[in-house]
Amino acid sequence: MKDMTIPWTVLVLIFISVTISAVAQVTLKQGMSSPAVQQGLNGGWLEIVIAVASSLYVWLGLILYALGAVLWLGVLARIDVSIAYPFVGLGFILTALFGVFLLGEAFSVIRFVGTCLVVLGIILVTQGC
């Protein structure tokens, strides 16, 4: 049977990749919520493209997302995708927490329960490693 132990270096790479991707989501949200982009969304397609392309937060979010993806490629090069992918669920948790604490978004009981179920799923899936 193949050894499924995840090296600590890969776990660190997973955490960094997922964290960067979560920060990217919050950064993209910040950019898309800016008054300039919101105003541009009321125009035609050209105004929308210009408004979105003019947002530094959108660009930063895309760059962070690309960096997270490159790091994730390093994860996939080292462990099976069936082992790696459940850790993407950590991104749901981090993104929700960043949304609450950085953007002031609401976090209801239902969202809390759903987030706990994601954590439970990650735990259950990784137990077979």
Question: In angstroms, rounded to a whole number, what is the distance separating the alpha carbons of residues 102 and 39?
Answer: 23
Mean pLDDT, rounded, of the chain: 91
Q: What residue numbers bound the domain in which 72 lies? A: 8-126
Q: Specify if 55 maps to a domain.
A: yes
Structure tokens at 114: 């759903």
Q: What is the pLDDT of residues 93-129, one digit of tens each?
A: 899 899 999 999 998 999 889 888 888 887 787 776 5
Q: Specify if 34 maps to a domain.
A: yes
Q: Specify if 2 maps to a domain.
A: no
Q: Specify if 108 maps to a domain.
A: yes
Structure tokens at 15: 């955490």
Q: What is the pLDDT of residues 24-36, one digit of tens each?
A: 999 999 999 999 9
Q: Specify if 59 maps to a domain.
A: yes
pLDDT at 128: 62
Q: Specify if 89 maps to a domain.
A: yes
Using alpha carbons, select from 27, 28, 52 the residue that is nearest to residue 39: 52
Q: Higher model confidence: residue 6 or residue 13?
A: 13
Q: Specify if 3 maps to a domain.
A: no
Q: What is the pLDDT of residues 67-80, one digit of tens each?
A: 999 999 999 999 99
> How many C-beta neighbours within 10 Å does residue 42 have?
9
Q: Specify if 94 maps to a domain.
A: yes
Domains identified in the chain, total number: 1
